[in-house]
Structure 1
Amino acid sequence: MRKRLKQLFLFILCLVLILQMFPHTNKKIPKSIQKEVKIALMHYPELRDIPITFKFKRNIKKSVMQAQPTFGALFKSKEERNYTILISEKFKITGEEFKTVDVPSDVLVGWLGHELGHIMDYQNRSGFNLIGFGFRYVFLKEYVKKAERAADSFAVSHGMSQYILKTKRFILDNSAIHPTYKDRIKQYYLSPDEIMEMVKQQDSADNG
């Protein structure tokens, strides 16, 4: 019990320190989602100096959010790139539209954490590789699966497993969400069981 309390105290202390380190001056965040974005960003200290614009869009085909480099970023060094995370203003449940900002806060954090995972993936690629990535993502289903699972993996490895799981369960356990979207999540993304297995492996490695 004392060990758990000590770990919790250290975790809270780290969050406070990270908050102080993150002025977010290079992040453009809509006021309505500032809390959720900042929570997600705390898990990615590597992105502290990377400009990211979070922007609402009327509709995004097949997705709730979409992370992408700006066009000019393709020709810049990794340290000078900037990115945009597009967020659909609404999504449909059984034909009825709901505002994305009205979903549970932790679910929204999970969605954002996944998109930041994409940016971590992009940061590991050269500009030429990013161009090829875009073409493969559009035309190859297997590559979509690879990219989405990589983004999930980045989020889990950055301590966001609980948020990612809540997002998955919100989608998969919600009888009102259209089966087509659920099938896409099952086909291309890590399953809750795979995420839990990753967490177990990380815990084992940390304790070993």
Structure 2
Amino acid sequence: MQLTDTKYIQNSIPSELKVVIINALDFYPDLADVTIEFKLSENIRKSVMQAQPKFSTMFGSRNKRTYIIKISRFFSLKGKVTPIHMLPKNVLIGWIGHELGHIMDYLNRSNWSMILFGIGYLTSKSFIISAERVADTYAVDHGLGDYILATKDFILYQAGMPEKYIQKINKLYLPPEEIMYLMENKSLKD
């Protein structure tokens, strides 16, 4: 892989995360012609990363939508603020791979379906659980299972997150055992 690969030219990629973003994108050849803006953000409400369609592109053809992945510039690691790019590479690839899984899900949705998705995500815990499972499943199906496991291990056991946050993660996202089950099923299909 060359970091100057032209298939990523349409994507805006922060320089400090270029290697991990391109590594994650390489698992998603279906996204080669999709415009994705990766933006470092000072404050993302209640999360570290967030994928969504760019509002201004929501009213045209879904084939011309632009997507944004917001990435928090900083991460609280064991109570200390750490620049996000200082996290382990495999953790960042898994995290970005999960967000790219959301974009894979969005590709097949009409504009109306995307509006309903947004409403569901804001109002229903069961909808959030379903959406997060879909994103993890896309990531595993695209070969990112080990990276997703590394991300989950990091969040649950290494980052020093508050117990309340860990409980939230355990409720909303696939547990490591289910990720491993998906990985086993994928290897049987391949």
Instruction: Report if TM-score (shorter chain) is over 0.5.
Output: yes
What RMSD over aligned residues (CA atoms) do the two structures have, in Å? 1.7
8 Å CA contact 2:7, 2:33 repeated in 1: no
Q: TM-score, length-normalised on structure 2?
A: 0.94
What are the residue-to-residue correspondences of 1:39-118 with 2, within 5 Å?
39-118=23-102
**Percentage of matched positions with identical amino acids:** 43
Larger Rg: 1
Q: Is the 8 A contact 1:55 1:86 kept in 2?
A: yes
Q: Is 1:202 aligned to residue 186 of structure 2?
A: yes
Contact 1:74 1:131 in 2 (8 A): no
Counterpart of 1:113, as a letter, is G
Structure 2 SS opposite 1:28: coil
Matches within 5 A, 1:54-203: 54-174=38-158, 176-203=160-187
- Distance in 1 between the 2:101 and 2:159 partners? 27
- Runs (5+) with no aligned partner, structure 1: 1-15
- In 1, the alpha carbon distance for the partners of 2:109 and 2:178 equals 25
Offset of 1:94 from its aligned partner?
4.7
- Structure 1 runs of 4+ off > 6 angstroms? 18-21
| C-alpha distance in structure 1 between counterparts of 2:147 and 2:98, whole Å | 9
8 Å contact from structure 2 (residues 50, 69) kept in 1: yes
Aligned residues: 190
Give the secondary-structure state (helix, strand or coil) at the position aligned to 2:81: strand
Q: Which of 26, 33, 36 is matched with 2:17 structurally?
A: 33
Take 1:180 and 1:151, find their aligned partners in 2: how far apart are those partners?
A: 23
The alignment's TM-score, normalised by the length of structure 1, stands at 0.86
Summarize deviations over 1:91-142 as a string: whole Å, max 9, x none: 2245432221111011011110000000001111100000011011001111
Report the residue type matching 2:70 in the other structure.
L
Q: Which runs of 5+ in 2 are unaligned?
A: none
